[in-house]
Copies of this chain bind each other. A is one copy, B any other.
């Protein structure tokens, strides 16, 4: 059942059927009604490939995440998918892991599917400096379709980033820990992403402000991101004396924070009395744990809404109206985080 069949039944040309289907242009009410009737009766749907050939779009956007089984990223995809679907776009999901090589190849694959835009969620190994080779594949992609980044920052033509102000938030959190009397604060991360770098800077800012020394050994990066693996890793480090002593933890993700809590509880430590713990992203883990976890809310929903809005606006702007009646989107939108105080660390300063 294709457009020719419908046209034949209706006694019109395929062009007219096309016009009716696309709702556009001038077709007499009579013809339109008749054609719509036949379409409904015959159950005709335009072939997306043929449409794609003509229009060069299939109304899809590529969404690349390192790990969809991660609560932060699945949350992001959830928000994005909802917004985009509502505007008539569907998501082609690709999970690349954290490897640069694979990210690149996944992006190529997505581009080959003729996506209308590309969304990258988290974990971008960003860089100061325009010509960072680690992000070149992103700029390359941006030459074909607009690229949107959720909590990653890359500068370049046609790249739009939504991120949260991790540096300030982390600084505030650490400031509070220091004010509460903590001296040895472990910065725990599993990533070298832009976001993790910002968080580390915030951590260092706070130490510097308080006149505390910056100890390399207290900035720990482990390559694990599941609760038990984190716990075990800390145990291993502890056994081999590779773990410095600490009285507080700031982790760049709730998973890490919960892993650290598990480690501490295993050692018989009390939280927050013996060890204060602050996590990140305010995910469901922060309330599933016991004690519940103080966590920095990275405003995921807002980031995603902003991204989806911008994307829709950008893609539909070129359509009806040639060139922007609307102002061009900001290349970077920064959201302030908020710290959600729970039992694992108590607020000790006015924020």
List of B residues within 8 angstroms of A81 by Cβ: 68, 93-95
A63, A93, A227 — most chain B CB neighbours (10 Å): A93
Taken together as a complex, chains A and B put the C-alpha atoms of A81 and B65 apart, in Å, by 11
Interface string of A42-62 (1 = CB under 8 A from B): 000101111011001010100
Q: Is A77 an interface residue (CB 8 A)?
A: yes
Q: In whole angstroms, how far apart are the Cα atoms of A58 and B115 in the complex?
A: 12
Q: Is A247 an interface residue (CB 8 A)?
A: no
Any B CB within 8 A of the CB of A272: no
A287 at the interface (CB under 8 A from B): yes
**A228 in contact (CB, < 8 A):** yes
- B75-A288 in contact (CB<8A): no
Interface hits, A147-176 → B, CB 8 Å = none
B90 lies within 8 A of A85 (CB): no
From A226, which residue of chain B is reached at the shortest CB distance? B284
A257 nearest in chain B by CB position: B288
Q: How large is the interface on A (under 10, 10 to 19, 20 to 34, 35 or more residues)?
A: 35 or more
Docked Cα-Cα span, A92 to B95, in Å, equals 12
Q: Which candidate, A9-17, A106-114, A191-199, is the interface stretch facing chain B?
A: A106-114
| Cα distance, A82 to B93, chains bound together (Å) | 11
Residue A290 at the B interface, CB < 8 A?
A: yes
CA distance A228 to B340 in the complex (A): 15
Residues of B within 8 A of A109 (CB): 85, 90
Is A245 engaged at the interface, CB distance under 8 Å to the other chain?
A: no
Q: How far is the CA of A93 from the CA of B56 in the complex (A)?
A: 21
Of B49, B74, B82, B284, which is within 8 A of A285 by CB? B284
User: Given A71-B71, A90-B94, A288-B227, A114 and B77 touching (CB < 8 A)?
Assistant: no
| 8 A-B pairs with the lowest CB-CB distances in the bound complex, closest first | A49-B52, A290-B290, A74-B74, A69-B78, A93-B93, A49-B53, A288-B288, A68-B78
